[in-house]
Amino acid sequence: MLNRKHCLIALMIASMFALAGCRGGVEIRNVEGSPIAGNPSMERVRDAIIRAGANRGWRMTPQGDGNILGTLEVRSHVARVNIRYDRSSYAITYLDSVNLEHDRNRGTIHKNYNSWIKNLDTDIYNELALIR
């Protein structure tokens, strides 16, 4: 009886550690050096990025030449990214978030964030393909 009790306690402790390890989400996805075909003007690149983000509900705020702040608010969750661009490439980099389980030490975040970034990246790529 005592051995069975010890096994049950050990199993419960192992389960707690396993569940604790699952918390915190996935590694943060950034997009670096995504190429832009052709040789569009900076204005056309900026406008395509803003259109792509707006179509997905992102608030896109130009921050000067080659830089846009993207903010997405979904219910009580907020994600902010920096989008750097020039005439040949663009990058999307995580800035900060609210209620997305961001763990700075582990570099992880809620899995939905990466889906939002993947969609934004795809939409930007597609918008830029239309301006060639």
DSSP per residue over 97-109, as a string? EESS--BTTTTEE
The answer to whether the beta carbons of residues 92 and 121 sit under 8 Å apart is yes
Tens of pLDDT, residue by residue over 102-125, are 999 999 999 999 999 999 999 999
Tens of pLDDT, residue by residue over 10-48, are 555 554 444 444 455 899 999 999 999 998 999 999 999
User: 3-state DSSP: the chain helix, strand, coil percent, rounded to 5?
Assistant: 40, 30, 25
Cα–Cα distance for residue pair 52/122, rounded to 1 Å: 9
CB contact set of 12 (below 8 Å; sequence gap of 6+): none
Longest dimension (CA), the chain: 77
Tens of pLDDT, residue by residue over 79-95, are 999 999 999 999 999 99
Domains of the chain (ranges; CATH) run 2-130 (3.30.310)
DSSP per residue over 26-60, as a string? EEPP-EEEEE--S---HHHHHHHHHHHHHHTT-EE
* More confidently predicted of 50 and 20: 50
